[in-house]
Structure 1
Amino acid sequence: MDETDPRTLPIFKKGQEILETVRLIGNLIPEDNEVLQDIKGHMLSDAALLTVKVAGAEAGDLYDIRMEAAAIIRKAARDLMVQNHSLDMYGFKEVRYYQLVRDLIEEYRLLFIDWVAGFDTSNYIIDQWGLFNPPGKGPFDEDDD
């Protein structure tokens, strides 16, 4: 297992940058607007997943664990990409700043592609649910250990 500290990975650092940007924009949301505050909570949760799940995948190391984390990251990032529509729909006056988040997510997406491509497909246990097995392996195969 690679002993790289996940905090040194470019994808982790970009995730931190996204989280900080979402926090700064979230600070502009009026405290008395419950709907926008709820959206802010979802945005912060999704942004936090971009680093938390990278760290978990790096610690878990197994292919299926890493792929599961990657799927959760992808969903969180895609949800973040469209939150500007919710902010705009509910009257957030500073919605134009959200383009910064969208630009950072695009940078993150490119780092994500490289990160996933580096997953070790030989380090796995069979995912009996069939979602996160390495290429050529299925839910009814036996582990090679």
Structure 2
Amino acid sequence: MNYETNPVRAHENFAIYKKSEEIFEVVQQIADLIPDKDNTPLSQIKAQMLEDAMMIQAKIAGAEGGDIYDIRMENAAIIRKAARDLMLTSHSLKIFGFKEVEYFDIVYGLLEDFRLLFIDWVAGFDQWNYIIDRWGLFNPPGIGPHDKDPNNDIPFDTDNSID
């Protein structure tokens, strides 16, 4: 079974995931221009920007695999942070003397396209497919961390349970 027909990897066909692949490819190409020297600020920035670009892809997959509102929102928040951190990377590269920092303008353009896809993607999350987030961060509108869980009203007969 290939990923086009595998529901576990269906997210790889989404426009937002394809855009994240583009972002990673460009970030990887820019990272390849940074020399590998131990314990230099540029090598640390290189590692962080690659991690941010990979995190975006991993969390899209996690959000799609979880399919529960609070899990999807948690992944979306991590994606947003990674993307925003990537946007700031060029400043750090410039400060530490990276000569080809202008290539990061390509990443900015891709991130802007990604941001627009992200808005639509998050708007499509099913707010009715949720488990109450008792931490209170990622509940659907109108649901609070102290609300009664409606699943607690489902009767469970232990005498007739399947062993």
Q: What is the TM-score with the length of structure 1 in the denominator?
A: 0.95
Equivalenced residues, count: 144
Q: Does 1:24 align with 2:29?
A: yes
The structure, 1 or 2, with the larger RCO (C-alpha pairs under 8 Å, 6+ apart) is 1
- SS class of match (1:81): helix
Structure 1, unpaired ranges of 5+ = none
Equivalent position amino acid for 2:109 in 1:
D
- SS class of match (2:150): coil
1:124 paired residue number: 130
Whole-angstrom distance in 2 between the partners of 1:14 and 1:143: 37
- SS class of match (2:128): coil
Structure 2, unpaired ranges of 5+ = 1-6, 152-163
Q: Does 1:50 align with 2:93?
A: no
Identical aligned residues as a percent: 58
Provide Cα deviations, 1:87-142, integer angstroms capped at 9, x if missing partner.
Answer: 00000000010111111000000000000000000000000000000000000012
1:63 paired residue number: 69
Structure 1 segments of 4+ aligned residues over 3 angstroms from their partners: none
2:139 paired residue number: 133
Which of the numbers 74, 79, 88 marks the counterpart of 2:85? 79
Q: What is the TM-score with the length of structure 2 in the denominator?
A: 0.85
Aligned Cα root-mean-square deviation (Å): 1.4
Structure number with bigger Rg = 2
